[in-house]
Structure 1
């Protein structure tokens, strides 16, 4: 039995902690807020989780929200460039298995309570470098799954793997009640507005019950970069104004919406960044970074919580299969095993932050007529490893040619 310290009571830290407890290890999680403070706080993300990450949660005993709203598919629309109110591309397809979004203000307090019931220990304190030094002397392995200030500076940017040095989107979340459901099936409704940004919306569960999470990603300096200094109500009204201007079919679903609560809005921006996974304390002791601490993607593909769950699952496997000390070599190998998967998410996400290539546009258009292509596109959200055909013409051209031939409209 080993003893582990995880700094951060978020998706990755709690899931990894529960997995280690299940295998009989001693685990302490450090959180800068207690459960009530998290519950009473502001929303932190949009967190729509797909089938495989949800299955990793179930493996460690997380089965608390089976009666919460489910996301059954993905829909995609691009406005027509010349005909206002019409679409140039419009299709939707069901996922093989539904996804789910639980407000982290609801989720994390419940998981913290469950973690302690399983025998884990939670310490509420704001960890700094002195704290990390203390943990490193006490525990066999210290994992940093959250960090600000001094801690964040410990993990240096990996210049070889990081593509961007500046934020690529101005981000805004709005949690609402009262949105009219989609006609066919519940879905992530994804809208691409060329030259402006992206909007997607999907059902979720928040503190006051079922809701919808509206996510806006505006190009910096553009008309969707407009959130600074707004009150919650002004933020809400600005979101509706954007829908009225660019996405009338989405605005029609929002005629009776209202904010879930004053904490149900969030705005900000950050540069997508990959950091080196091993940081060294002043004493020379190494600590291991995890999830967003070392691999921070833009949320345009909705992979944040999914990555965190996959990282926890991968790290758990690496830890349980390891013999010997948890030294810096182990830490680097642990991250590389995870990155073998995560590199596909990084590539897919970064590609969507750029204007779509001709090949990508063709794939989206072929999906209008081909259920096979639409199905394969939506399943990338669960398994981004199958994205090369969408991103690379030399990989996907033959597939799209055949799909276009099979599903070509007949005269």
Structure 2
């Protein structure tokens, strides 16, 4: 039986460990926290997962919360009109539409999911080691396993994987991030029965994303600001008190997005650990890490492809990476997991991940005219709105109509008359 070490217990690490376990591999999972510490800790992400990523969980029969989590049927885009924050009635939207998803999306608080998956892994006989691994630890452990996979996307271990400058156009954070989990948010009055992700764009300022989720205390909503660094939304770094974080979130909504603020008159934090703030530079790294002894380890998910969360792809990419690596491992049989195989496994994943990176980096930049035309036309033509919404599940489709002005114009022209 082949022995595999997975370091890191997030979406990718746990999904991969459970998948390998189901295929009969001898799997050791290393986490820096216990399941109880994860469950009672701070929120870790926003994790809206679209149909393809959810199907990877169903394939492994680890979709334990699918019947409890809200079913997100749509994805809406609203763009604040110039000066809209000055008006009192909350109606100043230059663009406002919602696209229908072909397959529903869901968000499950990672505190719920990761804790539950970790307990399942242990119950199924997996070796669980609670230890915050350093490079020196991996140097000791790796020789005892046929393959070591690093899925811990923060800290010292990431330093083993060098930045790929050719695939990383940004070397500084492009957004300041601030998340708050709340109870008591009202529905959008124009679609009161529709669960949807709402993408609110404030040109030159940043974005607010609102999404329904399942958290430790039941159904909730996530308020997620992405602020252009140095701008009016970049105010959360010094905020340490959770209630002050929420108050700041709501004040900014009242100023820039009054139609979303109007839904928040009765909100309260889900718990004292329901806020998160930070920033990081989106980075693609070389997939193979070298240990001091010369051994090799393979980076997983956001260890090697870390995109800004503006397109909500983090957990989706983690799930897709875990599924791709699982297939590459199983396909390889009993052959050694050498450097050539590691590069090939990453390249197989990059076939999907490159489209996510291109889409995300494009959305971080000021939109060119043809993109504005597409987003505007989606408010008039439902087919365009639906296609844009479903691109979040399969970003490769944006190659066909979104990036190139000629393709965009031809696509829009196909609807004329």
Superposition TM-score tier, normalisation by shorter sequence = over 0.9
Report the Cα distance in structure 2 between the residues aligned to 1:9 and 1:129, rounded to whole angstroms. 17
> What TM-score do the two structures reach when normalised by structure 1?
0.97
Matching residue of 2:80? 79
> What TM-score do the two structures reach when normalised by structure 2?
0.95
Report the Cα distance in structure 2 between the residues aligned to 1:182 and 1:202, rounded to whole angstroms. 12
Q: Does 1:278 align with 2:284?
A: no
Matching residue of 1:263? 273
Aligned residue for 2:224, secondary structure, equals strand
Q: Does 1:22 align with 2:28?
A: no
How far off is 1:149 after superposition? 3.6
RMSD: 1.1
Report the Cα distance in structure 2 between the residues aligned to 1:147 and 1:73, rounded to whole angstroms. 30
Matching residue of 1:135? 141
Report the Cα distance in structure 2 between the residues aligned to 1:39 and 1:191, rounded to whole angstroms. 30
Matching residue of 1:70? 71
Aligned residue for 1:254, secondary structure, equals coil
How far off is 1:317 after superposition? 0.8
Q: Does 1:353 align with 2:359?
A: no
How far off is 1:313 after superposition? 0.5
Report the Cα distance in structure 2 between the residues aligned to 1:402 and 1:337, rounded to whole angstroms. 34
String of CA shifts for 1:137-169, please: whole Å, max 9, x gaps. 111000000054431211111111111000000
Aligned runs of 1:30-49 on 2, under 5 Å?
Answer: 30-49=30-49
Aligned residues of 2:99 and 2:387 also touching (Cα < 8 A): no
How far off is 1:119 after superposition? 2.3
String of CA shifts for 1:165-202, please: whole Å, max 9, x gaps. 00000000000000002342110011110010000101
Aligned runs of 1:74-153 on 2, under 5 Å?
Answer: 74-82=75-83, 84=87, 85=90, 86-153=92-159
String of CA shifts for 1:273-303, please: whole Å, max 9, x gaps. 0110001101100000000111100000000
How far off is 1:55 after superposition? 0.4
Matching residue of 1:191? 200
Aligned residue for 2:237, secondary structure, equals coil
| Runs of 5+ unmatched residues, structure 1 | 407-411
String of CA shifts for 1:22-54, please: whole Å, max 9, x gaps. 111111110000001111110010001001100
> How has the CA–CA distance of structure 1 residues 198 and 285 changed in structure 2, closer, same or farther, with 3 Å as cutoff?
same
Aligned residue pairs, count: 405
Report the Cα distance in structure 1 between the residues aligned to 2:338 and 2:173, rounded to whole angstroms. 34
- Given the alignment, which residue of 308, 313, 322 partners 2:323? 313
4+ residue segments displaced more than 3 Å: 82-85
Q: Does 1:337 align with 2:339?
A: no
Matching residue of 2:384? 373
Aligned residues of 2:54 and 2:63 also touching (Cα < 8 A): no
Report the Cα distance in structure 2 between the residues aligned to 1:154 and 1:82, rounded to whole angstroms. 47
Aligned runs of 1:233-312 on 2, under 5 Å?
Answer: 233-312=243-322
Matching residue of 1:207? 216
How far off is 1:19 after superposition? 1.1
Report the Cα distance in structure 2 between the residues aligned to 1:263 and 1:372, rounded to whole angstroms. 40
Report the Cα distance in structure 2 between the residues aligned to 1:352 and 1:150, rounded to whole angstroms. 29
How far off is 1:121 after superposition? 1.4
Report the Cα distance in structure 2 between the residues aligned to 1:342 and 1:354, rounded to whole angstroms. 19
Q: Does 1:400 align with 2:406?
A: no
Matching residue of 2:398? 387
